[in-house]
Structure 1
Amino acid sequence: MNKISLVAKREFLTRVQKKTFLLTTIGVPLLIFAFYALIIFFSVKSTDNFTIAVLDKANIFNGSIDSKKGSDVIFKFVKDDTSVLKNKLEQKEYDAYLYVPENYSITGKSTDSLLFRSAKTVGIMTREKIENRISKTLEEKRLMSMNISKSQLDSIQNQKESITFSSSSGKTENQTKVGLSYGVGFVSGFMIYIILFIYGTMVMRGVVEEKVSRIAEVIISSVKPFQLMMGKIVGIGAVGLLQFIIWGILIFAIQLLVPVLFPQLFEQMQSQPVQPGMMAAAETAKQSGALSGIMNGLSEINFTLIIGCFIFYFLGGYFMYASLFAAVGSAANEDMQDAQSLLLPIMMPIIFGIVIMMQAVNNPNGSLAVFGSLFPLTSPIVMMARVAHGIPDGVTVFQLVLSMVFLILGFFGTTWLAAKIYRTGILMYGKKVTWKELWKWAVKKN
């Protein structure tokens, strides 16, 4: 155990003391923020106004079309005829014009239709904005012609049936809490998915570098191959955990600056589609007040359970997959393509896990979600999607304990197999290894 800690300490200090670690740890969040800021800047600041001349011969709109604050589509009513508008269109005085013929009727009985002509192709989002605003204005005009006011229609549309959802235990389910659980489960599972990929690959590259440089031969003269492998996994894992914590703090701090620097961003976000799992949270929050609705939903989520499970599944998943990545790295030679060709069977369960998680956040008690949360190679990702919904609504205590036991057994099993492969592969050079040969190394007797 002492030798494992010495190897882990060496791996940790060697990487942390490099300038590249500092540059990567600090530079990546800043680079992400700069890229993010540029996207927001160009989406908010660079939008050109789209001016439309309206020639309303039938006086349907009465000189006004439903306007939205901050919209980049501008309607300007004119008295010119179509020939003049065509010339002004060619001279780029207007981007387009809308012609309403004299015989046009809002009741739909006339044969004439609205004519929209633009100087250039209209984008799909701009086209949708134009159609929505015109349709909304015409809808109000039709209601007024039938002596129905807009407030009366809104009153009818806003009358929704009050349906109380509850679980089998009789506990009432908060719609906001369900939506927030969806988001928390998705983010937690996706974070572990990223961790397994990034830091598992770091372990593999570290093993390959030591093997190619022949440093491993010197170290193995003092420690056993298993101790070297575990020390490397623990050391690189500590580096990754430290880097991940710093990234999380910096990105969270940077996110707080976005509303200050780009206040128009949230106006645009309101018009964007909402994720299906979050629609319930958004609707409930809108009705009861955004802040109070979200706070009530957050208070019902068991964050102590989620954080505890996240740490356990993060460590269990990392150590299990890191040992497999280390085994692949020990079998590789100078050409990294050798290692890449052996990675597919290891990467497939991780990808399969994120696919199951996408289903588990919406249906945590489905058969596929239950299987994925119990199977050790996918449970670190899938179980977080179920735990976010709580106990016993998202996952039962028995299933959670069974999943943890399977993950621990899976860790010991993969580490034992990886250690046997590592012991042989770390000292083998000049031979391209296949999975068939790796299996022979794993099952052969000492």
Structure 2
Amino acid sequence: MNVHMGSWSAINLVASREVSVRLKSKAYRISTLVLLILIVGFTVVMKLISGSTSTTTIGYVGPAKALAVSWQAGAKAIGKDLTLTEVPDDAAGRKQVGDGALDALLTVKDGASSSGSPQDSFQVVVKQDADPTLRNTLNEVIKRYALDQQILSLGGDPVRIESEVATAAVDVVPLEKPHEYDPQQLALGIIAGILIYLSLMLNGQAVAQGVVEEKTSRVVELLLSAIRPWQLMAGKVLGIGAVGLLQMALVGVVGVVAGRLTGVLTISISAAAGTVIWLIVWYLLGFLMYSIVFAALGALVSRQEDVGGVVTPALMFVIVGYVIGISVLPSDPGSPLVEVLSLIPMFAPTLMPMRLGIGGVPVWEAVLSVALVMALIPALIWLSGRIYRNAVLRSGARVRLRDALRAA
């Protein structure tokens, strides 16, 4: 005769065992360490990238000064830093270019007249090749110089005309104020989605693998003599989920601290903390939703080699959401496609935290997304519990999903 203990006591017993086993697991410790190294390493790399500014040194001879100054201003407008250095003559400038002291020399062509066209008057001397962006910038400066020369020849004032042209613009009146996306918040949102994706892939599949391991070793038969199938499934999900939550919280906090200490993360603490909190919330919702499904699917097979095949259909929703998020959001943070998919429970655990980290998500969308997932979880618990109960004690060949649902 089976003697079953209280529901919470049984769940707590299984969960405690899972937490103890996972925390002592070398694989868990290594994966946590790797994630921490990656997040800190990413922060350091971003610091080095942001701290390294490439400066291009341009030499010029006296008559080309005005054009060189215009080139410097045009380059600055596109984020390029030009340092100007006057050289005594063309020969000295060419020598400095050859020695590597100058990246380029802006000079006047031999025999050029002041009335000649710009392309016939100036030239750029480089050692091998010129930066395409800077070359295009200089071409625009030359075009403007040519236009100024034509205006002067017709008796006009180039300064006044350029001022009129520069201020000419259409007046755009938005009905709603557009959301301005902070690049750092965009990066935090993407990182949050990546962490949740990795956690669901690692910890979610660990639930299915744990079910198969107990089923193969016949331990499940001993456990089910004392507790009910749904209690065993719930305890396993909660235990592995708690360990995964600890991992995510640790990575999130270390990432924010590293970002603040290195100066890479300059957004407010409240904004960064909000992203970490949403990361934890959506990890919990996503893990609970998917892990109970993985537990049921794991009960259908009796060999570890078959786990991947049986959980792949469910994992595809996680993968698709992740791929869409990292491929669409960086170029289009307000994508309508991502907005719609982030409200669908299967895609929400990866897409919604990305959007929330970026910002600009209406409150009703965030609430609706959470509510839909929470509404789906009880139905998944009932369905998965039925599959798990009817399949976990059946060893040998893979149990068909239809048979697990119909079994008494």
- State TM-score, norm by structure 1: 0.64
Q: Residues 189-200 of structure 1 correspond to what in structure 2 (within 5 A)? A: 192-200=196-204
Aligned: 1:13 with 2:13? no
Tell me the distance in 1 between the aligned counterparts of 2:143 and 2:55: 23
Aligned-residue offset at 1:245 = 1.6
Tell me the distance in 2 between the aligned counterparts of 1:439 and 1:107: 86
Q: Residues 46-445 of structure 1 correspond to what in structure 2 (within 5 A)? A: 50-54=56-60, 59=64, 61=66, 64=69, 66=72, 73-81=82-90, 91-92=99-100, 94-101=102-109, 109=117, 112=120, 115-121=123-129, 126-129=131-134, 131-132=136-137, 135=140, 139=144, 147-149=157-159, 153=163, 156-157=166-167, 161=171, 163=173, 165-166=175-176, 173=177, 175-176=179-180, 192-259=196-263, 314-336=283-305, 338-354=306-322, 358=328, 362=334, 369-370=339-340, 372=341, 375-381=344-350, 385=355, 389-391=361-363, 400=368, 406-423=372-389, 425-427=391-393, 431=397, 433=398, 437-445=399-407
Gaps of 5+ in 2: 1-6
The 3-state SS of whatever aligns with 1:165 is: coil
Q: Kindly name which structure, 1 or 2, has the bigger radius of gyration based on alpha carbons.
A: 2
Amino acid at match of 2:66: F
Identity of aligned pairs, percent?
A: 26
Aligned-residue offset at 1:362 = 1.7
Aligned-residue offset at 1:7 = 0.4
Kindly provide the CA deviation profile for residues 35-77 of structure 1, in whole angstroms up to 9, marking residues without a partner as x: 43145436745x7754444457x53637755278996654444
Q: How many residues align?
A: 383
Aligned-residue offset at 1:12 = 1.6
Amino acid at match of 2:72: D
Aligned pair in 2 of structure 1 residues 438, 410: CA closer, same or farther (>3 Å)? Answer: farther
The 3-state SS of whatever aligns with 2:334 is: coil
Tell me the distance in 2 between the aligned counterparts of 1:205 and 1:411: 21
Tell me the distance in 2 between the aligned counterparts of 1:137 and 1:237: 63
* Contact kept? 1:95, 1:120, Cα under 8 Å: no
Kindly provide the CA deviation profile for residues 271-306 of structure 1, in whole angstroms up to 9, marking residues without a partner as x: xxxxxxxxxxxxxxxxxxxx9xx99xx99xxx7xx9
The 3-state SS of whatever aligns with 2:361 is: coil
Aligned-residue offset at 1:426 = 4.0
Aligned-residue offset at 1:442 = 2.9
* Contact kept? 1:193, 1:354, Cα under 8 Å: yes
* Contact kept? 1:421, 1:438, Cα under 8 Å: no
Tell me the distance in 2 between the aligned counterparts of 1:344 and 1:106: 73
* Contact kept? 1:212, 1:333, Cα under 8 Å: yes
Tell me the distance in 1 between the aligned counterparts of 2:208 and 2:115: 70
Aligned-residue offset at 1:182 = 7.9
Aligned pair in 2 of structure 1 residues 309, 21: CA closer, same or farther (>3 Å)? Answer: closer
Aligned pair in 2 of structure 1 residues 208, 127: CA closer, same or farther (>3 Å)? Answer: farther
Aligned-residue offset at 1:345 = 1.5
The 3-state SS of whatever aligns with 2:400 is: helix
Aligned pair in 2 of structure 1 residues 198, 149: CA closer, same or farther (>3 Å)? Answer: farther
Tell me the distance in 1 between the aligned counterparts of 2:211 and 2:111: 80
Kindly provide the CA deviation profile for residues 101-126 of structure 1, in whole angstroms up to 9, marking residues without a partner as x: 2576999945627544543455xxx4
Tell me the distance in 2 between the aligned counterparts of 1:37 and 1:178: 20
Tell me the distance in 2 between the aligned counterparts of 1:320 and 1:217: 26
Aligned-residue offset at 1:413 = 3.3
Gaps of 5+ in 1: 167-172, 267-290
Aligned-residue offset at 1:178 = 10
Aligned pair in 2 of structure 1 residues 54, 310: CA closer, same or farther (>3 Å)? Answer: closer
* Contact kept? 2:43, 2:259, Cα under 8 Å: no
Aligned pair in 2 of structure 1 residues 129, 410: CA closer, same or farther (>3 Å)? Answer: same
Aligned-residue offset at 1:241 = 1.4
Aligned-residue offset at 1:224 = 3.0
State the partner residue of 2:10.
Answer: 3
Aligned pair in 2 of structure 1 residues 235, 10: CA closer, same or farther (>3 Å)? Answer: same
The 3-state SS of whatever aligns with 1:66 is: helix
Amino acid at match of 1:132: T
Aligned pair in 2 of structure 1 residues 347, 118: CA closer, same or farther (>3 Å)? Answer: farther
The Cα RMSD (Å) is: 5.0
